[in-house]
Every structure is written in structure tokens, then in C-alpha cells.
């Protein structure tokens, strides 16, 4: 059997990778150990949120599928952080897990150039440091020009429910044990990570009346730039807010030694930003309650997800402790909470294309790279898929810089920073977050997606139209002159203070209290705007100064970003570099000066030494004196 590309894993990373490569004309095989686990939302039934919503929008803008899939399968939609600045506005929607899986499976089944199979990869075939295919469970070899490993939390998966410990993938599916051992034989370094999830409980056993109802937003914002609100508007389900209690915390403290997490049974490191309830009780001993959200898993089941109470306590302890949450006094657990430990690589062994630094055409994407989250996995999947396709097509590699997208921040952080816990995206990680907003992802990335043959013409035209409307409206506001006369100020009085000198609508809009929708009610303009575009224009105008400052910082950073570092330097030969920097640089082998500057332990003075060394090498080369 021969394919151009084999994608091992049909989770969030594998699906995006396979769909992207197939849409770029690559003959692709995607395999998974269980077709019923395709795009499984093994943990929280929601997509998006702070930083994660930005990733979904960027995947969509590039021509990826996650945004379209969730627009078809959401059951509640909320825009978070609207009281804060636009840089942190984040769309978060509740997904119907069953529909999300079904629609993604249909997409894989109906994508041209893509073949879907239930199979287990037990090894990869490597010849002369180049991948040639995989070996599957029955020993057969399947050959390809490139392979993407997106095996999630399955590699040597081990589940912990108190002292009940067993080999398993998530949701009771088989783990992937053999591949792990063979990857090690090929010299691929693996480490143990862990994550956890709460119990699923029966809605009929909840005392909803004791909880606060959380409704969806009246206005629904699509994740995909190909959708308008009318395309996806629907009846929404409610979530419910409640709290843990002091009684529950005391009970957990009394049983802490039974938790797999605190009995020392678990070796792997968990995500700091998704703590278990045991962690929270330990970390915040003075708190008598923590927020808990009851979230529906799907329209076609009564299973509810207990957000905020992930645990690895024994089941009998779980049954007691969940009853101590307000509104869960009569709760019936349907699935216990558990922790899962699994093998992952060090992503510092990868290039920013997610290709291995040691095995050509072997790519890694998703949780296996040490990230945590559906959105983070999907973002890596699309980049790995694009670059595997480009390698096969003999085209240049495709990367997104830190100033171009959250995807760029995610991958740069993964491949330059050695992190010992699963990496979760947050807006605070993006130094250029003011320009990397979710509302302008298409303006930033769709042209790049189109140029590589992924984003469709329709998508490009929609983006271009949006950009034209944006520019037209801002020009119209700027050209709409205002004279400081009585008539004008009488109009302005209802929204702001009078103007004293000549001005224009754009300047007026810069005033913090002025909103565009109110301004154009008083001073109508021709450009037709929908609420989403109005918000975008308002942000572009009000933050014009900051955005400009950001751009000059970005240009400075680009000067460093574009200084490549040869991949065969022996940093121990460069005089003046500190020991720690030599160790980290020889270990991580950054691709550019800018990447080197982001490695912890490499100081600005080390970067100066490196720049001087490169300059001297360049001059030596010019004089034809280089050692080689
Ligand atoms: C218990 C649990 C709790 C979690 N908690 C959180 C959380 O709190 N916050 C958060 O952000 N994220 C959490 N997650 C993580 C989230 O589920 C993952 O980040 C996401 O699913 C990773 O996507 P992925 O594509 O990398 O892998 P997955 O979605 O895990 O998919 C992996 C795919 O690889 C396939 N596969 C594996 N090995 C092989 C093989 N040898 N041959 C063929 N196919 C193979 C599997 O069948 C599956 O299709 C949790 C996950 C679990 C399981």
C-alpha cells in the first residue's frame, strides 16, 4: 500500500492535518484505533475560550475545518471578557460531543484524496534518517513519503481512579503501547505527562433549582468566517453555575491519600491551568468554595459534565464528594472522573514546521507535543499537515510568526521552551495580542492560506470584501469633517462633550465614551456595517496608536527573526557564551537568532556574542577563509 502521507491519529490534530493535506492535493491515509473516537471531546464539552478561541479562528482563516465543525454542532455560545479590551474577547461555545464527532467523521469520509481506516500503528519505517511509512498491528507495512504522529493521550495510556489503575486510552478506549516502545528504539525521547477529567453525571439527578442558570448570548458569533449569524442561529441549551462547599473540601482533605495524584502513584506532570479539585483544595486551603459549572454533553444524552471538579479519587470517594456540591445532593454518577498518564515527546526536538530535527518528513502534532487542549492540537495539526504537503510537493516550509498569530506563539513556545507540564494557550502568552485579535484572524492569515493552496477562493473573496469595507468605513469616518459649530455640538452632546476645533468622525470615535453604532446614528455614513464589523472598526480606530507602536516593535523583532542560525554550529566553540546558554543552544538548536533569544537561560549578552560570531563568520566567508 502506498500513500503520499499517513496521519496516525484522528483526534483534533490528526483531523486538521489530514483534511489540510488532502485539500492541498496530497493522497492521504488517516488511521485511528477506533472510528467511534474520531475528534472525541474527551474532556470539557466546549471549544474556544481565552486564547483558545483565537486559535480556532486562525485555523478557520487558514482554511482549516474546526471552526466550521463547531458552528454546525454547538449547543450554547458565549463571548467571554466583553467587559475587557478587544484583545481578550474570546468566543467559547458548548459543543454537542456526539454531533461534533459525527460531523468530523463525515468530513473525513467525504474529503477528496483522503482515506479513513481503523488501524493501529505499532512502528514507523525509517531509512537513512528519513521516514518511509508505518507498520500496523498485523505486521503489514504501509509506505508513504511523510508521516504525521498525532496520537494524543493514547501512547502508553494509563488511567487512575484512586488505586484502580489500568492501561487505557481516554473514554475506556485501547491504549497505544507498542508504538511507544518502538519510537524509543528509534531514539525518540519520550516523557510522561498527565491530565484529568471530572465525572459525568445524570441530569435527572441534579437539583437545578439550587443553581444559577447560565444562558447563551442572544447574538451568536460564528467561529467560521464563512458563516454569518443567520447560517447557524438555533435554540441554545443552558449551563448551570454552582459551588463546592467547605464540607466537601474537608472530606477531600480527609481522603487526600486515596487520590492517585497524592498517593505518589502518578509519575506524569499535569497542566497547572486545569487543576484537579484535589489540587485546588491543597493550593487554596483558605477557600471554602470553588465555582462549578454543570454543562450538557449533548442534546441526545442526559450526561452532564462537572466543570471544575476533575479528580482521580476512588469511585466510592467520588460518589460521596460530588454529593457535597450545592445542587448535587442526589447526584448519580454515570462515568467516574479519572486521571490519565501518557507518553509525549519534547517539542524542542522539532522545527517550527513540526518536522523532527532528526528524521526527515516525520512530523508530530497535538498532545504528543506536550500541549493540552483540542484547539492547541488542531492548530498544530493544520501546520503539520501543510508542511508535510509542502515537503511532498517540494515547496517552501510554512510557518506563522509570533506577530502573525496565536498559532505562531503556540508553536514557537513549544519548540523553543522546554516545558515540563502540558502547555495551554492563554492571551497572556501573546506579546502582540492587541494585533492578534480573534476578529481580524482572516485579515492576518487568509491570504497566506490561499497562497499555499488551502484556503478557497470564496474564503479569500469574503476576507477581501471585509477588508475593503473596513478600509472604506475608516476613510469615510476620516473624511467626514466636523466644524465646531452649534448644530454639530448639539448632535455630539448626546454621546460626548462638544468639539472646540475642526475635527472628523474618526477623531471623535477615538474618545473612550463614543461607540460607533451611536455615532453613525447621529452622523450617518454610506458604508453598510454589521455589528461584528463595527466592533472591528472601533478597535482599529480606538487602538490605532498602540497598534502602530506594536508594528514598530514587530519590525525590530523581524530583523532578528530573519537571521537564520546554521543547524550544525557547535556552540561550545563560541567564546563568551555562558555554560547554560551553550547547553541549551546545543540541545534545542534554534533556527533563528530571535528563537535563540526566547530560550530560557540564553541572555541578551549571549545573543550579542552570537551576533558578533555570525558577523565574523560572514566576513570570513566573504574573504573565502571559512574553515569548511
Ligand atoms: C482525561 C482527559 C482530560 C483532559 N483534560 C483536558 C483539560 O482539562 N484541558 C484541556 O485543554 N485539554 C484536556 N484534555 C486534552 C484534550 O482532550 C486533548 O488535548 C486533545 O484531545 C488532544 O488532541 P490530539 O489530536 O492531540 O489527540 P486525541 O484527541 O487524544 O486523538 C489521538 C488519536 O490518535 C489515535 N491513536 C493513538 N495511537 C495510535 C496508534 N498507535 N495507531 C493509530 N491511531 C492511534 C487515537 O485513536 C485518536 O484518534 C484532556 C484529555 C483527556 C483524555
Question: Which atom of ligand 1 lies at the shortest distance from residue 376's CA?
Answer: 19
pLDDT value at 229 more than 80:
yes
Longest dimension (CA), the chain: 86
Lowest pLDDT segment from 121-125, 390-394, 524-528: 524-528
Determine the residue of 10, 30, 152, 279 to mutate for testing ligand 1's pocket, defined as the one with the most ligand atoms within 8 A of the Cβ atom: 152
Report the separation in Å between the CA atom of 244 and the middle of ligand 1, taken as the mean of its atom positions: 28
Report the separation in Å between the CA atom of 440 and the middle of ligand 1, taken as the mean of its atom positions: 29
Question: Which atom of ligand 1 lies at the shortest distance from residue 173's CA?
Answer: 47
Through-space distance between the first and last CA atoms of the chain, rounded to whole angstroms: 43
Residue with the nearest Cα to atom 30 of ligand 1?
152
Report the separation in Å between the CA atom of 143 and the middle of ligand 1, taken as the mean of its atom positions: 25
Question: Which atom of ligand 1 lies at the shortest distance from residue 40's CA?
Answer: 29
Lowest pLDDT segment from 86-95, 270-279, 397-406, 555-564: 555-564
pLDDT tens column, 556-593: 777 766 778 888 888 998 988 998 899 989 888 888 88
Report the separation in Å between the CA atom of 356 and the middle of ligand 1, taken as the mean of its atom positions: 20
Residue 418: the pLDDT is 83
Helix (H) / strand (E) containing 288:
none
What average pLDDT does range 105-133 have in this prediction?
98
266, 341 in Cβ contact below 8 A? yes
Residue with the nearest Cα to atom 53 of ligand 1?
170
Decide which of 449 and 621 is more confident: 449
Residue with the nearest Cα to atom 17 of ligand 1?
42
Report the separation in Å between the CA atom of 377 and the middle of ligand 1, taken as the mean of its atom positions: 8
Dihedrals φ, ψ of 272, to 5°?
Answer: -55, -35
Dihedrals φ, ψ of 407, to 5°?
Answer: -60, -40
386, 438 in Cβ contact below 8 A? no
Report the separation in Å between the CA atom of 73 and the middle of ligand 1, taken as the mean of its atom positions: 19
Residue with the nearest Cα to atom 10 of ligand 1?
373
Decide which of 379 and 580 is more confident: 379
pTM of the complete model: 0.95
Report the separation in Å between the CA atom of 12 and the middle of ligand 1, taken as the mean of its atom positions: 8
Determine the residue of 12, 123, 153, 261 to mutate for testing ligand 1's pocket, defined as the one with the most ligand atoms within 8 A of the Cβ atom: 153
Report the separation in Å between the CA atom of 427 and the middle of ligand 1, taken as the mean of its atom positions: 23
Report the separation in Å between the CA atom of 426 and the middle of ligand 1, taken as the mean of its atom positions: 20
Q: Pairing mode, if any, of strands 362-364 and 141-149? A: parallel
Residue with the nearest Cα to atom 37 of ligand 1?
151
Determine the residue of 95, 117, 122, 151 to mutate for testing ligand 1's pocket, defined as the one with the most ligand atoms within 8 A of the Cβ atom: 151
Question: Which atom of ligand 1 lies at the shortest distance from residue 365's CA?
Answer: 26
Question: Which atom of ligand 1 lies at the shortest distance from residue 381's CA?
Answer: 25
pLDDT tens column, 587-608: 888 888 888 888 888 888 888 8
Question: Which atom of ligand 1 lies at the shortest distance from residue 37's CA?
Answer: 49
Between CA 447 and CA 462 the distance in angstroms is 11
Tell me which residues have their CB closer than 6 angstroms to ligand 1. Answer: 8-14, 31-34, 37, 40, 42-43, 120-121, 150-154, 170, 176, 179, 195-197, 274, 340, 366-367, 372-374, 377, 424
Residue with the nearest Cα to atom 8 of ligand 1?
274
Residue with the nearest Cα to atom 18 of ligand 1?
373
Residue 474: the pLDDT is 96
What average pLDDT does range 459-484 have in this prediction?
96
Residue with the nearest Cα to atom 50 of ligand 1?
43
Residue 627: the pLDDT is 54
Q: How many CB atoms lie within 10 A of CB 605?
A: 12
Three-class SS state of 481: strand
Res. 130 pLDDT band, cuts 50 70 90 = very high
Q: How many CB atoms lie within 10 A of CB 613?
A: 17
Residue 389 CB contacts under 8 Å (≥ 6 apart), including other chains: 5, 20, 21, 24, 25, 26, 395
Extended beta strands in 264-375, E state: 291-296, 303-307, 333-335, 338-345, 362-364
What average pLDDT does range 310-328 have in this prediction?
97
What average pLDDT does range 603-628 have in this prediction?
82
Between CA 401 and CA 407 the distance in angstroms is 8
Report the separation in Å between the CA atom of 119 and the middle of ligand 1, taken as the mean of its atom positions: 16
Question: Which atom of ligand 1 lies at the shortest distance from residue 368's CA?
Answer: 26
H-state helical runs in 288-427? 315-322, 374-393, 406-416
pLDDT tens column, 495-543: 999 999 999 999 999 999 999 999 999 999 988 888 889 999 999 999 8
| Helices and strands (H and E) in the chain: how many | 21, 22
Please report how many Cα atoms fall inside a 13 Å half-sphere around the Cα of residue 203, on the Cβ side. 15
Question: Which atom of ligand 1 lies at the shortest distance from residue 10's CA?
Answer: 49
Res. 624 pLDDT band, cuts 50 70 90 = confident
pLDDT value at 137 more than 80:
yes
Residue with the nearest Cα to atom 9 of ligand 1?
373
Amino acid at each position: 500500500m502506498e500513500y503520499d502521507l499517513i496521519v496516525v491519529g484522528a483526534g483534533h490534530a490528526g483531523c486538521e492535518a489530514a483534511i489540510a493535506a488532502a485539500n492541498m492535493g496530497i493522497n492521504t491515509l488517516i488511521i485511528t484505533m477506533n472510528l467511534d473516537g474520531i475528534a472525541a471531546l474527551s474532556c470539557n464539552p466546549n471549544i474556544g475560550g481565552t486564547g483558545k478561541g483565537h486559535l480556532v479562528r486562525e485555523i478557520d482563516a487558514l482554511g482549516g475545518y474546526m471552526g466550521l465543525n463547531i458552528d454546525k454542532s454547538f449547543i450554547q455560545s458565549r463571548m467571554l471578557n466583553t467587559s475587557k479590551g478587544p484583545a481578550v474577547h474570546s468566543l467559547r461555545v458548548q459543543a454537542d460531543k456526539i454531533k461534533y464527532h459525527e460531523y468530523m467523521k463525515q468530513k473525513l469520509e467525504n474529503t477528496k484524496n483522503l482515506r479513513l481506516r481503523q488501524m493501529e500503528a505499532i512502528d514507523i519505517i525509517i531509512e537513512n534518517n528519513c521516514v518511509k511509512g508505518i507498520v500496523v498491528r498485523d505486521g503489514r507495512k504501509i509506505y508513504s513519503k511523510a508521516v504525521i504522529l498525532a496520537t494524543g493521550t493514547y501512547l502508553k495510556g494509563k488511567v487512575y481512579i484512586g488505586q484502580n489503575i489500568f492501561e487505557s486510552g481516554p473514554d475506556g478506549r485501547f491504549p497505544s503501547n507498542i508504538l511507544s516502545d518502538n519510537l524509543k528504539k528509534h531514539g525518540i525521547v519520550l516523557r510522561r505527562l498527565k491530565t484529568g477529567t471530572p465525572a459525568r453525571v445524570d441530569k435527572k439527578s441534579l437539583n437545578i433549582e439550587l443553581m444559577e442558570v447560565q444562558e447563551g448570548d442572544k447574538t451568536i458569533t460564528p467561529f467560521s468566517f464563512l458563516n454569518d449569524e443567520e447560517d447557524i442561529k438555533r435554540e441554545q441549551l443552558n449551563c448551570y453555575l454552582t459551588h463546592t462547599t467547605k464540607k466537601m473540601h474537608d472530606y477531600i482533605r480527609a481522603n487526600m491519600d486515596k487520590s492517585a495524584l497524592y498517593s505518589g502513584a502518578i509519575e506524569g506532570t499535569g497542566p497547572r491551568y486545569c487543576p484537579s479539585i484535589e489540587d485546588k483544595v491543597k493550593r487554596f486551603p483558605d477557600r471554602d468554595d470553588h465555582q462549578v459549572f454543570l454543562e450538557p454533553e449533548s442534546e441526545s444524552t442526559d450526561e452532564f459534565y462537572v466543570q471544575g471538579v476533575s479528580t482521580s479519587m476512588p469511585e466510592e470517594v467520588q460518589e460521596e464528594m460530588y454529593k457535597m456540591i450545592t445542587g448535587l445532593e442526589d447526584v448519580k454518577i454515570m462515568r467516574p472522573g479519572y486521571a490519565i498518564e501518557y507518553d509525549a515527546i519534547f517539542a524542542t526536538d522539532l522545527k517550527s514546521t513540526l518536522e523532527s530535527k532528526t528524521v526527515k518528513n516525520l512530523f508530530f502534532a497535538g498532545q504528543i507535543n506536550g500541549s493540552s487542549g483540542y484547539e492547541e492540537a488542531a492548530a498544530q495539526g493544520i501546520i503539520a499537515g501543510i508542511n508535510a504537503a509542502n515537503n511532498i510537493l517540494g515547496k517552501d516550509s510554512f510557518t506563522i510568526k509570533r506577530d502573525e498569530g496565536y498559532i505562531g506563539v503556540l508553536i514557537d513556545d513549544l519548540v523553543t521552551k522546554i516545558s515540563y507540564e502540558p502547555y495551554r494557550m492563554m492571551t497572556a502568552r501573546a506579546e502582540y495580542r492587541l494585533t492578534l485579535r480573534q476578529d481580524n484572524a482572516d485579515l492576518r492569515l487568509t491570504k497566506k492560506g490561499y497562497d499555499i493552496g488551502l484556503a478557497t477562493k470564496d474564503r479569500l473573496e469574503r476576507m477581501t470584501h471585509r477588508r475593503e469595507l473596513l478600509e472604506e468605513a475608516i476613510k469615510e469616518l476620516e473624511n467626514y469633517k466636523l466644524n465646531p459649530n452649534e448644530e454639530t455640538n448639539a448632535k455630539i452632546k448626546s454621546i460626548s462633550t462638544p468639539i472646540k476645533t475642526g475635527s472628523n468622525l474618526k477623531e471623535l470615535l477615538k474618545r473612550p465614551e463614543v461607540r460607533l453604532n451611536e455615532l453613525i446614528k447621529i452622523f450617518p455614513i454610506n458604508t453598510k456595517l454589521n455589528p461584528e464589523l463595527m466592533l472591528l472598526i472601533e478597535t482599529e480606530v480606538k487602538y490605532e496608536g498602540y497598534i502602530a507602536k506594536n508594528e514598530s516593535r514587530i519590525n525590530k523583532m523581524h530583523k532578528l527573526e530573519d537571521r537564520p542560525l546554521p543547524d550544525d554550529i557547535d556552540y561550545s566553540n563560541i567564546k563568551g557564551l555562558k555554560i547554560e546558554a551553550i547547553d541549551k543552544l546545543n540541545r534545542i538548536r534554534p533556527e533563528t537568532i530571535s528563537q535563540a533569544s526566547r530560550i530560557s537561560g540564553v541572555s541578551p549578552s549571549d545573543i550579542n556574542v552570537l551576533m558578533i560570531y555570525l558577523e565574523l563568520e560572514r566576513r570570513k566567508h566573504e574573504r573565502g577563509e571559512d574553515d569548511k
